[in-house]
Amino acid sequence: MRYLASMLAIGLMSWGALVARADSGPPIPTGPSPLTVISEDPGLAHRPHIDLPGGITKLPAVTYSVLNGFRPLTLDIFAPKVTAALHPIVIYIHGGGWSLDPNGDEGLSGDSGMAELAGRGYVVVRPTYRLTSEAIFPAQLIDVKTAVRWAKTYAAAYGGDPSRVVVWGASAGGNLSALVGTSCGQSQFDTVAPLGRFYGLSTPAIDPKVTSCVNAAIDWFGPTEFAAMASEALPGASKHNTADAPESQYLGCVIPQCPAAKLAAANPISYVTKDAPPFLIMHGLADDSVPNQQSVLLYQALRAKGVPAKLVLVPGARHMFMGVPPQIMRAQLVAVFEWIDRQTSRKDK
């Protein structure tokens, strides 16, 4: 699965107050736990930053997590001008088959796309996470949920509203976004960070009382039920049951040989309850990397629990929404904006 690299620039609207939820789910694979997680206050007035067009400030490479034995994990913040009214937070999770860490000014996940999104009145947070060359699932989900908790803990420092958080991901990031959206209350994925000094950082770590629950989730063409991908794939599409398939690398086992518990733990459908936040799911009908039936399954599971969800299947669109004329893509973007308008009203305008 390749990360999103198309000419998209999408704005999101905000959602209402955080809904606390808790439920039980399948066990996650056992293994070494992170030993230390720390974070640093972004300190808008004190950190190096980059001024972007439209009054957007980029704070690059802010450390949000330090794990013993791993590289420090960082995130970029794209913030509009701080005002008395707080801005909703959008956390964008990159794709790349859980094996690539896209960076640059390419497509939505690049600086220009993030800055345009921030220009619509959002604080945008773009985290990195451990890749499959560094660790297997659930490391990636733990990292992303840590980034959510970090963003909510330090929201006031960059004008963000911790009660209005949207998570959005594409491809591999879509899987992680959907997992964040459905796994509220799954404490096994929320590491508790200690307080105090570490590596010269004097600010407190992530507040252990802050959860990784979000108010809405957007899943673009992300996988859900890995065991079904091979049978659902289009003729000539990517292979999913091989040892070098992204899904196998993600879970640390060849998909047909993976334990059922491990497959279930990485499937956002496993955690769906009636209290899941609203979902927007989009997928191309000609996707030859992630079968569109993967999104259908998630949509059906959400609707079966009465969760507000909308599924958009785009005719002729391949992975990353490639292959459709610009005007068709624009129509899809307008549909996204209209869906968001129906879900919420802007409090910061």
Among 190, 174, 179, CA closest to 266: 179
* 85 backbone dihedrals φ, ψ, rounded to 5°: -85, 135
Beta bridge pairs of residue 169: 93, 219
Q: Which domains does the chain have, with CATH numbers?
A: 50-343 (3.40.50.1820)
> Is-contact 166 90, C-beta < 8 A?
yes
Residue 99 CB neighbours (<10 A): 15
Residue 288 CB neighbours (<10 A): 16
- CA 117, 339, 3, 178 dihedral sign is positive
Written as tens digits, the pLDDT of the chain (349 aa) is: 433 334 333 333 322 222 233 333 444 333 333 334 455 655 555 667 888 898 999 999 888 888 878 888 999 999 988 777 888 898 999 999 999 987 654 455 678 878 888 888 889 899 999 999 999 999 999 999 999 999 999 888 889 989 889 999 999 999 999 999 999 999 999 875 543 334 444 445 788 789 999 999 999 999 999 999 999 988 877 889 999 999 999 999 999 999 999 999 999 999 999 999 999 999 999 999 999 999 999 999 999 999 999 999 999 999 988 899 988 876 766 565 566 555 645 444 3
Q: In angstroms, rounded to a whole number, what is the distance separating the alpha carbons of residues 14 and 215? A: 9
Among 282, 338, 348, CA closest to 84: 348
Task: Provide the terminal-to-terminal Cα distance of the chain, rounded to the nearest Å.
Answer: 37
